[in-house]
Amino acid sequence: MALLGEIRLNEDISALISGDIIDDGTTTTTTTWSGNKINSDKQNTLVSATNIKTVNSETLLGSGNIVVAALASPTFTGLPVFPALKLTPQSSIPGSPVEGVIYYDDGTNQPTPAPYYYDGAVWNIMCKLKLVWDVHNFGGFWYDITDDLGLSKLSILQTNLAYSQRVISANNLEYFTKAEFKVLDVVRYGFGGNVANAATAGLLETGAGLDFENGGFYIMGWAGTAHYLVNRTLACQAEYALLQDPYDTVTKSVGGTWNFGLWSIALTSIDTKSGNCMFTVNYDGSALDSNVVKNNHEIYTLKETFGGIANVPTLVFYISNIYAGDVLDFVDLKYGWAVVRTALDYAETDIIDALTITDLDETAKSITAKNTSALTLTENTDVLIIEDIYLRVADQSATLRFMPVKTGTIEIHGEDWSE
């Protein structure tokens, strides 16, 4: 049937209509709808903020236009600020760059930096947190990437530094380091970690309480260098002359010498039939062990009295291969390990440059040192901290900015401190 008359909005028409609704326009199409179908599909009355959203709490209903204002640029507070940093190399520091100027600016002018330096990101300390440099943000500290060793850290404990307060008070600059155990490469790679087999092949001092117990030794980062703990104690240490890369091989023929630091291994004979070689061990031009005979796949260990301590290993290497060439015979040497033959003694109250050892813990194998006198961070200066590590202060009077620097043939920087 046809629908005539009117239907009021929101009225339930399901009971009023049934059958066909005929379009009486130009088309002849007839659509069959039920009253329930029309009732369910109808558009309810629009109510602002109920079944239609608003814009900035303004209703969309009615006539006219809604003007949406342009968004203002966001303003952030409490974020780091990175003002221009200009750091001029100090020619008075041995080994520091002598050309170029090292600095960051606003990006409009990026000069070529002085050669051979590494620099971390600018550190902003608006929150006045304690600042710590370690092996992760200062490459000047010693770090063993193979075993992830190196626990040196330099901390500024006070939180009131600013351009108007440039003094690090006494006991507020702290250096901490700790020794860690490392397996000898000759044990790990040459003998698959088997200490007993390495000892049979010539590795000495592997017994309980000895330097190479469990096939390793204690190594500690001291500022920018690695130290060997003699007899596993902090009181007597030695710098390293050689920690040969485990994948490196030194090949020598008769008359050849293997030189590292003040050490020299002179090869005097090779017998490929017997599978042995003869050599002399020299240090600073003097023979320490002459006419040493070693077979293929054996370890050479030199023991000495060192720093008043007997039977200290000072040199280790491995005869990896003895073989005949087309003309000459050769020996491959691997896993070299050697120390500088100068004992370094440490004790509490010892003064090392600007720091004093305040705690030497043999049980934990750690050393803590602090500045017992105040340090002033004068602009455009390098302040010596310990050995070849300085705090380099930027030449800015209105902003205090500084970073640790390790000087030498290659100069290495850490993260900047910026107020």
Question: How many C-beta neighbours within 10 Å does residue 38 have?
Answer: 16
Give the whole-angstrom CA distance, residue 158 versus residue 169: 8
CA atoms within 13 A on the CB side of 339: 25
pLDDT digits (tens, 9 = 90+) for 64-101: 777 666 555 444 344 333 333 344 333 333 333 323 33
Specify the pLDDT at position 132.
87
Give the best-scoring range by mean pLDDT among 123-127, 301-305, 399-403: 301-305
Residues 367 and 360 sit within 8 Å (Cβ to Cβ): yes
Helix (H) or strand (E) holding 37: helix 35-41
pLDDT tens digits, residue range 102-127? 333 333 333 333 333 434 333 444 43
- Report d(CA 162, CA 382) in Å as an integer: 17
- Give me 25's structure tokens: 């326009």
Are the C-beta atoms of residues 321 and 221 closer than 8 Å to each other?
no
The DSSP call for residue 400 is -
Strands (E), 93-235: 102-104, 122-124, 131-134, 153-156, 167-168, 173-178, 180-183, 216-222, 225-229
Is the pLDDT at 184 greater than 60, yes or no? yes
**Every domain of the chain and the residues it spans:** 1-56, 85-172+371-418, 183-345
Q: How far is residue 96 from each of residues 85, 211, 380, 389, 413, measured CA to CA in Å?
A: 18, 37, 14, 12, 11
Kindly report which listed range (49-63, 107-121, 133-147, 379-393) carries the lowest average pLDDT score: 107-121
Report the run of H or E that residue 35 belongs to, with start and end: helix 35-41
Q: Which amino acid is at 200?
A: T
* Residue 37 backbone dihedrals phi, psi, to 5 degrees: -60, -45
Residue 29 clears pLDDT 80, i.e. is over it: no
Does the domain at 85-172+371-418 match CATH 2.60.40? Answer given as: yes
What's the pLDDT at 46?
76
What dihedral angle (degrees, nearest 10) is formed by the CA atoms of 32, 35, 36, 42?
A: 100
In the CATH hierarchy, which top-level class contains the domain 183-345?
mainly beta
Confidence of residue 415 (pLDDT cuts 50, 70, 90): low
- Going by their DSSP bridges, the two strands 102-104 and 122-124 should be labelled as unpaired
Q: 267 with 256: CB under 8 angstroms?
A: yes
User: So what's the pLDDT on residue 218?
Assistant: 97
More confident residue, 92 or 50: 50
pLDDT reported for residue 62: 77
How many other β-carbons are positioned within 10 Å of the β-carbon of residue 67?
A: 6
What average pLDDT does the segment 232-260 reach?
95
Residue 5 has pLDDT above 70, yes or no: no
Q: Which of 93-102, 226-235, 283-292 has the lowest mean pLDDT?
A: 93-102
Residues 184 and 299: beta-carbon distance below 8 Å: no
**Rounded mean pLDDT of 329-351?**
96
What does the CA dihedral 382, 383, 388, 394 come to, rounded to 10 degrees? -40
Per-residue pLDDT at 77 = 42
* DSSP string across 42-73: SPPPP-BTTTB--BTTB---SSS--PPPPPPP
The DSSP-derived string for 177-222 is EE-EEEE-HIIIIISTT-HHHHHHTT----STTSTTGGGEEEEEEE
- The values of phi and psi at residue 265, to 5°, are -105, 115
φ, ψ for residue 247 (rounded to 5)?
A: -100, 5
| pTM (global) more than 0.85 | no
User: What mean pLDDT is reported for the chain?
Assistant: 80
Q: How far apart are CA 226 and CA 219, in angstroms?
A: 7
Residue 159, both tokens:
């939180």
pLDDT for 142: 93
Region 275-304: what's the mean pLDDT? 96
Query: Which of 136-140, 141-145, 220-224, 414-418 has the weakest average pLDDT?
Result: 414-418
Nearest to 415 by CA among 397, 399, 391, 385: 391
Q: How far out from the chain centre does Cα 46 lie?
A: 62
